[in-house]
Every structure is written in C-alpha cells, then in structure tokens.
C-alpha cells in the first residue's frame, strides 16, 4: 500500500505473451476542484489532490479574471479540498460565468480566453539569451523531476526556470493545470516572469501559449509538438517557441534571437 495521497492502489491483470499475472498497480488520483467566485460557481477543474490553491490563483490570473493576487480578499478550501471559494475585491461581469470555450486539452479543458483578447500583448525584449546545451539540460532535469509520472505514467509536468536551473516543478493530470500552477506559485512567491523560461512535457496549443503570453514569459520549451495556431502566435508576438526537445536536439518554431546559436 502507498502513503502518497496523489496515488491510488488498484488490482490489475498483467497480460504478457499469453500469460496473466495478478498484480497491484498505482494510478494517479483524479479529483474535482469546483471554483466559486464571489459566491457564484465558475467551473470545475479535474486535478490531482495537491496545490489546489496555486491552481486556483494561476487559473484566475492566466484567464485574466484577476490581474494580481491583491484582488483576492479571501480563498477558502473546503469539502476535502474539492471546493474553493474565492472572494474578490472587484465585481465580475455576469456573462463571465457563461462564457466557456472547450479547448484541445486532455479531458476537455476550459478557457475563458479568445485569441482576439490578446491582440495588445507583444514581447519586445530579446532577453534572456540561452545556450542550446542549457535548454537540453533543463528539459532533462524536468524529466528526472517528474516523480508522479515515473510511478504512474499519468501526469504532465511543467517547470519554471531561469538560465541556470529549474526554480520549481509541478505535476498534474492536465497540461493546462500545470501551467496554471506555475503561474499561481510564481505570484505567491513574487517571482518576475518576464525573464524566465517555461518548460512543459505537453503539447503547446494556442491556449497554452496565450497563458504564457499574458504573463510576458518569453520562452516556452516543450518535449512535444506545437500547434499551427501556437506557432502563429509565437511569430506575431516575438515569443521563442521550442518543441521536440529530446536527447540532443530541439526545434525552434519562432524567434530564435533568444537562443545563442
């Protein structure tokens, strides 16, 4: 039996070459987190049972529902951390609780953002400049830090980094959740994101790059592929978008000026 609250033991039948073994296995726990804002239900996210506060704050900021954590008067988790009540010192437009868009995320992610909402965002600075070998070392360290993935194969991982090392790593069942957790932890720790690198194990789609763009994160590095919309946004907004970072190689899809080639 495991003592990790994020894991659950299950009985399985392992079939190999016609032979059947009865074994114990571990799967990642998936739990709901229903977010109420100013006493109105906003949405329910499916997540793992940890870092719900960071996830909530990161989601509200990345979706531009709030601009900073200073707008949060109170945040209370209840019902074994499956419900979070957020009280803001600002009013929320009633239509916000109806405006939801299904994303390309695993498990039908939800966003309140549309592409046109980000027209005024544009990255001007070419910093930081990162060496290719450092990018490969950072993604390798991300992989080695994916503890829950190693145990279950059922999570995505994301990390915040500077030019030297990873600052912190998060895991969740959804890649969107990991990005929101990174943003939430950054705000809670007063970390400036304008010169940081965002690493992710998952696919970079338009909603992922928009979350980073809204926080002025200049570089996104993924083990996986970007979508055409993400590449277009990266080119338009001067973001450095790197995909298929594996082994000794990676692909630069937009703005290579931040990479010292």
- Within 10 angstroms of residue 153's Cβ, the number of other Cβ atoms is 11
Q: 106 an active-site residue? A: yes
Tell me the backbone φ, ψ of residue 210, rounded to 5 degrees.
-70, -40
Rounded to 5°, the CA angle 115-120-98 comes to: 40
DSSP 161: E
Residue that the structure tokens 């290579």 belong to: 256
Q: What are the tokens at 128?
A: 């930081």
Which helix or strand (DSSP H or E) is residue 140 part of?
A: helix 132-144
Rounded to 5°, the CA angle 128-61-227 comes to: 60
Q: What are the tokens at 208?
A: 């992922």
Give SS3 for 63. coil
**Is residue 157 within 8 Å of residue 181, measured between CB atoms?**
no
Name the active-site residue from 106, 166, 252, 259: 106
DSSP for 100-116?
A: -EE-SSTT--EE---GG
Tell me the backbone φ, ψ of residue 216, rounded to 5 degrees.
60, 30
* Residues forming the active site: 106
């Amino acid at each position: 039996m495991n003592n990790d609250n994020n894991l659950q033991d299950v009985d399985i039948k392992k079939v190999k070459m016609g032979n059947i073994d009865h074994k114990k296995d571990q799967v990642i726990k998936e739990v709901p987190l229903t977010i109420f804002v100013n006493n109105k239900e906003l949405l329910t996210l499916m997540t793992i049972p940890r870092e719900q506060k960071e996830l909530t704050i990161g989601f509200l900021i990345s979706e531009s529902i709030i601009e900073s954590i200073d707008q949060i008067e109170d945040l209370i988790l209840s019902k074994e951390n499956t419900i979070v009540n957020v009280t803001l010192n600002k009013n929320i437009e009633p239509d916000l609780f109806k405006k939801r868009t299904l994303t390309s995320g695993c498990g039908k992610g939800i966003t309140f953002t549309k592409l046109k909402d980000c027209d005024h965002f544009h990255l001007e600075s070419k910093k930081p400049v990162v060496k290719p070998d450092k990018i490969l070392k950072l993604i390798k360290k991300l992989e080695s830090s994916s503890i829950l993935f190693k145990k279950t194969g059922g999570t995505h991982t994301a990390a915040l980094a500077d030019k030297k090392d990873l600052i912190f790593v998060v895991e969740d069942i959804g890649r969107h959740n990991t990005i929101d957790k990174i943003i939430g932890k950054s705000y809670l720790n007063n970390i400036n994101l304008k010169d940081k690198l965002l690493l992710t194990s998952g696919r970079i789609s338009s909603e992922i790059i928009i979350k980073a763009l809204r926080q002025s994160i200049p570089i996104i590095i993924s083990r996986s592929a970007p979508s055409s919309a993400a590449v277009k946004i990266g080119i338009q907004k001067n973001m450095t978008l790197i995909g298929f970072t594996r082994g000794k190689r990676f692909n630069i899809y937009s703005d290579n000026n931040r990479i010292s080639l």
